[in-house]
Structure 1
């Protein structure tokens, strides 16, 4: 479990193709301070398991399922990535509850800079639209954000200077893909409601 508060920007050091998987090595500093083998680190919002550790980097195996459903499929040496260690019971919940299980990818559609923030418009896959509401939570590339406006095929977020500086969202250009994870609480509420309606009506909601 994570909070969507990015701890640092790491750099992809190596990507080794293993056919049905990729071995990803990321150069980092902060997230390595108390990390051990088997710990979880979110890389652009994808929960990965640390398989090897070095002084300034860690390695994780990325399975085909993850490659098929996330933007990690296209990462290359030199790319910057958002990193966050798994939360503990002592962690401040500065963002929202994030599982690190990417629901789908989306495209950056537009960026509109202003003096103190930047409004970013992102496409919204149809299947995820029911989970977004204005002022609700969304995770974009592992960053916990508040939805400004939720449409049927797109949504907007406002990025403050801190987010623009400390995460990859500051440099994502229109046309680039990002990972999305919707609010897990919204998923459970919708599932519960559907099951309740099905039970009460004896059919499909």
Structure 2
């Protein structure tokens, strides 16, 4: 489980196809102090498992290897990443830590697209398009994870939602550089999904 509070922006150094899967390699620094084989790390909001690493990476950083299965490639934007792309990174939350964002599973529900960006005095409003099947799970003042970043929804429409990005989010995550037309990973609130499922089966 994650909180959607990004710890570091890493860099893709390789993505090697393996049949219908792939091995993703990411360069990182700040999240590697307690690294163990099998650790869960959210990469742009996708929960991936560390299967290897190289401590001899340039600049004192470490490269992390992740197995990415076909389902993940099909349902997220991980498969479209290229060498040099920045990615949001977050380690799994500790049981004794504060939950500063919201409950994020790292199980991407689908992808969306940046529709527009509107600068404000000290923040920026960003509108995202989302698939029709996810729209019912997104509510004004509710939570959503975009590329793994925990955000509060400020407005909703039939096939879009808006969020306000504070300067820290613009600086510390990849969302500061996402232009109109960019694809992003979306994870809706898990509580909304369970409520909807209960209503369908009751």
Residues 125-159 of structure 1: CA deviation (Å, up to 9, x unaligned): 10011111100000000000000011110000000
Cα distance between partner residues in 2 of 1:90 and 1:7: 17
The count of corresponding residues between Structure 1 and Structure 2 is 196
Cα distance between partner residues in 1 of 2:76 and 2:69: 11
Partner of 1:178: 184
Partner of 1:43: 43
Partner of 2:58: none
Corresponding residue SS for 2:107: coil
1:141 partnered with 2:135: no
CA shift at 1:193, angstroms? 2.1
Corresponding residue SS for 1:175: coil
Structure 1: any 5+ residue segments left out of the alignment? 197-205
TM superposition score normalised by structure 2: 0.95
Matches within 5 A, 1:1-205: 1-55=1-55, 56-196=62-202
Corresponding residue SS for 1:192: helix
Corresponding residue SS for 2:153: strand
Cα distance between partner residues in 2 of 1:17 and 1:124: 28
Residues 30-75 of structure 1: CA deviation (Å, up to 9, x unaligned): 1111010001000000000000022212100111111111001110
Cα distance between partner residues in 1 of 2:15 and 2:79: 10
Cα distance between partner residues in 2 of 1:195 and 1:16: 41
Corresponding residue SS for 1:59: strand
TM superposition score normalised by structure 1: 0.94
Whether the aligned pair in 2 keeps the contact of 1:124 and 1:152 (CA below 8 Å) is: no
- Higher-Rg structure is 1
Q: Detail structure 1 runs of 4+ shifted over 4 Å in the superposition.
A: none
Cα distance between partner residues in 2 of 1:31 and 1:186: 30
